[in-house]
Amino acid sequence: MAGESSLLISKLVEDYKRDESRLLDIVREVQAAYGAICEDSIDQIARELGIPRVRVADMVSFYSFLSRTPKGKCVIRLCNDVVDKMHGLEEVARTFEKALGIRVGETTPDGLISLEYTPCIGMSDQAPAALIGSLVVTSLKPADVPGILQAIRREEGKIGQRGLFPNAEVRQNLRQGGPVFSAPFESGVALRKALNMSPEQVIEEITQSRLRGRGGAGFPTGMKWSFCRKAKGEHYLICNGDEGEPGTFKDRYILAETADLLFEGMTIGGYAIGAREGFLYLRGEYEYLWAHLEQALARRRRLGLLGRNVCGREGFDFDIRIQLGAGAYICGEESALIESLEGKRGAPRDRPPYPVQKGYRNQPSSVNNLETVCCAARILEKGAEWFAALGTRESSGTKLLSVSGDCRQEGVYELEYGVTIHKLLELVDGCEAQAVQVGGPSGVCVAPKDFGRKISFEDIPTGGSVIVIGPKRDLLAIVKDFTEFFAEESCGWCVPCRVGATLLVKKLDKILEGRGTAADLEELKELGNTVKLMSRCGLGQTAANPALTTLQNFPDLYKKRINAEPFIPAFDLPGAFSEFAAVTGRKFKLEDEQ
Amino acid sequence: MSQEKVSIIIDGEEVGAAPGQTILLAASEAGIYIPHLCYHKDLSPGGHCRLCTVKVNGKPTNACTMEVGRGMVIENDTEELNLQRRHLIEMLFVEGNHICPYCEKSGNCELQALSYRLGMLAPGYPYLFPRKELDASHPDVYIDRNRCILCGRCVRSSREKDGKCVFGFEGRGIKTRLAVNSARGLSETEMTAADRAASYCPTGSLMLKRVGFKMPVGTRLYDRKPIGSDIEEKRE
């Protein structure tokens, strides 16, 4: 085995042309082949690439799909998102544990199966869901577990992409189509129109359409492309397909159903900014879509829509490479994504300089959401005026929303900007909601009094996640869940996010246990403000949003949970003495202190 | 010919800065102290501690990486920012296991000195009491991760000053840890007692052996003057 893995590593390093920026690909393949990247492998990869081993170890320890200790041949990752919990994850997890005789986090003694939890895998509309290897299974029920385990055992853990299971099906759940994503699309039409214009004219067309970034921040796309084009150097177009915001699955729809529109938009973007190379960063959870996407790229190359002299246009060479991630929410942050693309840990950079000045390999790079470039393709096809007439003044066009949670019509909706939350709840049949989480955990928890507010950049922006929270849910437990997610996904680079997110969880714990006082609510708010104000990137700056937006919009929920005592210590003194008590047989009582 | 200076305002005071200079450096040269911990003037900035956060035209910004720009109005020594900085110091104290009263670094420790300067009496957050590893494998240098604040100074100085790569990070979130370039410990790396990297640790985490109490407590750097005094003395 050792000799075998050593040969594989040498071959991989050779295949990737000793390019250290492909380190993520190399370690992913070692992980896939051997279920771990052991210390010897780390040494060998470092030696053959000619980089310090601490860099390889860093990479392996950062991404959640990579492991230094051996895992089972087949890893079952149960998605433990809030929505999965709403729809019966607990029962499914207990059934797996019982059937396997192990706990979540462990591997069966025969080394065949590991059972783990993983954050949102983009299947909230068909939860509970899980990844088995890279295969997705959806709408799990406890009764499905024996069939799944039987199939894994029969195949001796080698599942690959084959659908051997019940539930190995991803439904796209498009509930309402719209003009951008559901209209017929002919490959090359928008691109040829673009190529008949100068790059500056293409950018002008996008500017006229008032298209803004669909990831949530809403930066004007025309301006971004213009900045990038004007910056000197080798230009890169990078498409962010790392949708990791819990409750988001609209990119899944794009990748599966409108990949051609996506690649057309990327090519247009590449032409506009003067790039020769584009990247699609695909989240590791969507590995099952990879082959399909490569086919779409191959088809476009055959049609002359990618490669040398695109569409016969002399001097415009452009191609796209797909980079697969390995399980890190933070890589959805544009500068962290670039770091990951360069084969490093996904730690965000300090900005400025912005990626449009110094991005991938310190060259001008435009990082765009995939929905954004799809819109750009349509704008070239149908004109800026057509697009600008949709939506609102500040937010032109439509938005793909992924709606899940306590509603009967969960799925993907393409709606014009400006739709009210109330209207949306009617569409999805979830009108009894006590709250709606718009924009995922990093967004806003909206109370019924605000259901008249509009989804738009000027009112409530969202990258696409909408989670409906029904009347019977414990909202504060959901707040804690979201905050734990941020603590887990913090990259650890800066103090306020690394430590602050963990402290937020502790504070919420205290309040949820009924040991919180009025002072704790004040401290929660103050801590939240520190994390928000002082953190380095968007993750930290929004990690306190679940607590802060519910403190603001649902103050009574907190007041109901707090204790009337003026002060209750966070430190559990009797707990700390429990070992002492067990050894000596003496009981520790607080009164002893007095 | 010298380039024209950029004029910025820090806490109401006009400061001339060289174009391309960071806010932190421009302030230091003008005798204005912006508290910092992971930053060291000899090294590239790290952006870890966020202590040097200032408000530039109202927006929280990292002074160690942000270049000066014409017309910047900067808030630095304000009650709000100093309170936030104190909170960050408190976070570092509860994140590790710090032992000031009997720590070798006491009096020369920048973390301790900043907690004094920013008025921290005791951390307002619950201690996390993590279990951290010690690496005493090297004959001349040891790592005590209980006191490591993940500022990355050793990581950067080993690369930038020693031309080696002895240190790095591992893991993420609260589990992030300082790592060394070997599977077995510091002794298996290229580290030597003469490495510059050994001298940049702001706390008692990366220390030379056998010299800890060479200078008596009470006479050390920050026992005599608060941290930042060297910068502020430029004004008088």
Last residue of a domain, one of A367, A388, A409: A388
d(CA B87, CA B81): 10
Tell whether B125 lies on the interface with A, counting CB pairs under 8 A. Answer: yes
Q: What share of chain B is helix, strand, coil (3-state, %, to 5)?
A: 30, 15, 55
Judge whether A213 lies within some domain.
Answer: yes
Q: What average pLDDT score do residues B54-83 get?
A: 97
H helix or E strand, kind and range, residue A9: helix A2-15
Measured N-to-C along each axis, helices A475-489 and A545-553 cross at an angle, to the nearest 10 degrees, of: 160
Last residue of a domain, one of A154, A189, A212: A154
Which residues, in sequence order, are CB contacts of A152 under 8 Å at separation 6+? Answer: A74, A76, A112, A113, A132, A159
What share of chain A has pLDDT > 70, as a percent?
98
**Residue A130's CATH number:** 3.40.30.10
Q: Are residues A211 and A334 in the same domain?
A: yes
pLDDT tops 70 at residue A591: no
**Residue A314's CATH number:** 3.40.50.11540
Which residues, in sequence order, are CB contacts of A586 under 8 Å at separation 6+? Answer: A580
pLDDT tops 90 at residue B20: yes
Tell me whether residue B183 is exposed, middle or buried, using C-beta atoms within 10 angstroms of its C-beta: 0 to 12, 13 to 18, 19 or more.
middle
Q: What stretches of A347-420 show up as alpha helix (H) in DSSP?
A: 370-382, 384-388
Give the three-state DSSP class for A417.
coil
pLDDT tops 70 at residue A542: yes
Please give the backbone phi and psi of residue A385, each rounded to the nearest 5 degrees, phi first: -65, -40
A27-49 confidence digits (pLDDT tens)? 999 999 999 999 999 999 999 99
d(CA B35, CA B16): 20
Comparing CA positions, the residue from A372, A405, A136 lying closest to residue A246 is: A405
pLDDT tops 70 at residue B51: yes
A382-438 confidence digits (pLDDT tens)? 999 999 999 999 999 999 999 999 999 999 999 999 999 999 999 999 999 999 999
Start-to-end Cα distance in chain B: 29
**Residue A454's CATH number:** 3.10.20.600
Domains by residue range for chain B, with CATH: 6-77 (3.10.20.740), 85-212 (3.30.70.20)
Q: Are residues A32 and A132 in the same domain?
A: no
Q: Are residues A236 and A325 in the same domain?
A: yes
**The total number of structural domains that make up chain A:** 5
Strand order in the sheet with A130-132: A113-118, A74-79, A130-132, A135-137
Pairwise CB contact (< 8 Å): A534 & B60: yes
Q: Are residues A461 and A484 in the same domain?
A: no
Judge whether A593 lies within some domain.
Answer: no
Pairwise CB contact (< 8 Å): B50 & A536: yes
Tally Cβ neighbours within 10 Å of residue A312.
9
Start-to-end Cα distance in chain A: 64
Pairwise CB contact (< 8 Å): A58 & B95: no
d(CA A479, CA A66): 28
Tell whether B116 lies on the interface with A, counting CB pairs under 8 A. Answer: no
Q: What stretches of A416-544 show up as alpha helix (H) in DSSP?
A: 421-428, 475-489, 495-512, 518-534, 538-543
**Residue A547's CATH number:** 1.20.1440.230
Q: Are residues A288 and A209 in the same domain?
A: yes
Please list, residue by residue across B48-57, b when 16 or more beta carbons sit within 10 angstroms of its beta carbon and e when fewer do.
bbbbbbbbbe
Give the three-state DSSP class for B108.
coil
Pairwise CB contact (< 8 Å): B92 & A499: yes
Q: Which residues of A fall within a CB distance of 8 Å from B60?
A: 533-534
Quickly state the pLDDT bin for A593 (edges 50, 70, 90): very low
Give the residue numbers in A contacting B (CB under 8 Å), as ranges: 39, 42-43, 52-55, 57-58, 61-62, 328, 330, 345, 350, 352, 487-496, 498-503, 506, 523, 526-527, 530, 533-536, 570-571
What DSSP state is assigned to residue A129? -
Q: Which residues of B fall within a CB distance of 8 Å from A23?
A: none
d(CA B105, CA A151): 59
A153-167, B23-37, B63-77, B96-110: which has the minimum mean pLDDT?
A153-167
B145-190 confidence digits (pLDDT tens)? 999 999 999 999 999 999 999 999 999 999 999 999 999 999 999 9
Q: Which residue has the higher pLDDT, A164 or A545?
A: A545
d(CA A376, CA B167): 45
Q: Are residues A182 and A327 in the same domain?
A: yes
Q: What average pLDDT score do residues A447-464 get?
A: 96
Q: Are residues A105 and A25 in the same domain?
A: no
Q: How far is A457 from chain B (nearest CA, A)?
A: 20
| Residue B150: closest C-alpha in chain A | A493
Amino acid letter at A153?
Answer: R
Q: How far is A164 from chain B (nearest CA, A)?
A: 35
Comparing CA positions, the residue from A108, A88, A167 lying closest to residue A135 is: A167
Which of B84, B171, B176 is closest, CB to CB, to A530?
B84
pLDDT (0 to 100) of residue B1 = 41
As given in the structure block, the two tokens for residue B149 are 């604040």
pLDDT (0 to 100) of residue B3 = 67
What DSSP state is assigned to residue B47? -
Q: Are residues A15 and A132 in the same domain?
A: no
Judge whether A306 lies within some domain.
Answer: yes
Q: Are A441 and A485 in contact (CB under 8 A)?
A: yes
Which of A42, A340, A495 is the mutation pick for testing B, counting most B CBs within 10 A?
A: A495
Amino acid letter at B198?
Answer: A
Q: Which residue has the tokens 């695109």?
A: A310
A135-190 confidence digits (pLDDT tens)? 999 999 999 999 999 999 998 888 766 667 778 889 999 999 999 999 999 999 99
Q: Are A351 and A335 in contact (CB under 8 A)?
A: yes
d(CA B130, CA B149): 13
Q: Are residues A440 and A481 in the same domain?
A: no
pLDDT tops 50 at residue A228: yes
| Residue A490: closest C-alpha in chain B | B173
Q: Which residue has the higher pLDDT, A26 or B4?
A: A26
Judge whether A584 lies within some domain.
Answer: no
Tell me whether residue A471 is exposed, middle or buried, using C-beta atoms within 10 angstroms of its C-beta: 0 to 12, 13 to 18, 19 or more.
exposed
Q: Are residues A320 and A213 in the same domain?
A: yes
User: Domain span at residue A527?
Assistant: 475-561
Comparing CA positions, the residue from A205, A242, A125, A179 lying closest to residue A374 is: A179
Which of B126, B165, B172 is closest, CB to CB, to A570?
B126
Please give the backbone phi and psi of residue B205, each rounded to the nearest 5 degrees, phi first: -95, -45
CA distances from A380 to A192, A269, B127 (A): 9, 11, 57
Comparing CA positions, the residue from A353, A346, A263 lying closest to residue A299 is: A263
Q: What average pLDDT score do residues B53-69 get?
A: 97
Residue positions counted in chain A: 594
Judge whether A579 lies within some domain.
Answer: no
Quickly state the pLDDT bin for A297 (edges 50, 70, 90): very high
Quickly state the pLDDT bin for A594 (edges 50, 70, 90): very low
Q: Which residues of B fall within a CB distance of 8 Å from A62?
A: 170-172
Pairwise CB contact (< 8 Å): A55 & B95: no
What share of chain B has pLDDT > 70, as a percent?
98
pLDDT (0 to 100) of residue A158 = 82
Judge whether A549 lies within some domain.
Answer: yes
CA distances from B87 to A505, A533, A547, B55 (A): 17, 12, 18, 17
Judge whether A371 lies within some domain.
Answer: yes
Last residue of a domain, one of A442, A469, A496: A469
Q: What average pLDDT score do residues A100-106 get?
A: 97
d(CA B67, CA B64): 8
Pairs of residues, one from chain A and one from chain B, whose beta carbons lie less than 8 Å apart: 126
Please list, residue by residue across A70-89, b when 16 or more beta carbons sit within 10 angstroms of its beta carbon and e when fewer do.
ebbbbbbbbbbbbbbbbbeb
Q: Are residues A519 and A489 in the same domain?
A: yes
Tell whether B107 lies on the interface with A, counting CB pairs under 8 A. Answer: no
Judge whether A576 lies within some domain.
Answer: no
Q: Are residues A254 and A224 in the same domain?
A: yes
| Residue A494: closest C-alpha in chain B | B48
